[in-house]
Amino acid sequence: MGEVKINNFKPKIVGYLCNWCTYAAADLAGASRLDIKPSINVIRVMCSSRIDQNLILTTFFGGADGILIAGCHPGDCHYDKGNYYARRRYALLKKVLETLKLDPERLQLSWISAAEGKRYATVVNEFTERIRKLGPNPINNNSYF
């Protein structure tokens, strides 16, 4: 039964996409009719630095199987340096999760520019595959969270 469940498992991924780069890339990928897994639920943010760590925790505790944060390449931020702050915060979050041995595998940070529609499709598909292998978020069966 469990086996079947995993095989049929369709991950739920929340993608926090920067309005200026990755969101445009997602648009481009769609317009180019690229094959993108329907697992991702996109939330548009004005900058990757908008992602407070609490937002990630809420998403994770809310039951998302994977979380993708994507923004402009370092140096290309629309607001000059937002993604550098985002990167530090992400590093901090990851460090805390790693130290507590809470698997940070379900979390991914990617830099995808507005021109990289193809890359967007690849990143989403690969991330979906990784999460599918990891299986459902254990929090969904845990009454403590």
Partner 1 sequence: MDRLMKVNKSAELAIIDFFRLLLENDRVSGIFTLRKINKDDSVDYCLVTDENRLDEAIPFYPFMPANAGQILSRFSPMNKPVAVVIKPCELRAFIELVKREQGTLDNFLLISYSCAGVFPIIKTGDEPFEKFLPSYWETVKRGGISQGIRQTCKVCEHFLPMNADITISLIGENKLDSECKMFLNTDKAKEFAKDFEGEMLEEDLESPVINSLLTKRKGEKEDLFTELSSKYSGLDGMINIFGRCIGCHGCSRVCPICYCTLCDFESHNYDYSASILEREISQKGALRLPPDTIFFHLGRLIHMSFSCIGCGLCTEVCPANIPVSTLFIKIGEETAKMFDYIPGRNVKEAIPVTVFKEEEFAELGE
Helix (H, G, I), strand (E, B) or coil at 123: helix
H or E, element range at 55 = helix 53-61
Q: Which DSSP category does 20 fall into?
A: T
At position 127, the amino acid (one-letter code) is: F
Angle at 82 between CA 95 and CA 96, to 5 degrees: 10
Query: In this chain, which of 32, 95, 105, 129 binds partner 1, going by CB under 8 A?
Result: 95
Shortest distance, CB of residue 63 to partner 1, whole angstroms?
7
Q: Which DSSP category does 26 fall into?
A: H
Angle at 128 between CA 34 and CA 99, to 5 degrees: 140
Q: Per-residue contact track with partner 1, 61 to 80, x per CB under 8 A?
A: x-x---------xxx-----
Contact 106, 138 (CB under 8 A): no
Q: Per-residue contact track with partner 1, 102 to 121, x per CB under 8 A?
A: xx----xxxx----------
* Cβ distance to partner 1 smaller for residue 61 or 115: 61
* Cβ distance to partner 1 smaller for residue 94 or 118: 94
Query: In this chain, which of 90, 121, 124, 132 binds partner 1, going by CB under 8 A?
Result: 90
Q: Is 2 in the site for partner 1 (CB under 8 A)?
A: no
* Footprint of partner 1 (CB under 8 A): 53-54, 57-58, 61, 63, 73-75, 81, 84-85, 87-96, 99-103, 108-111, 123, 138-145
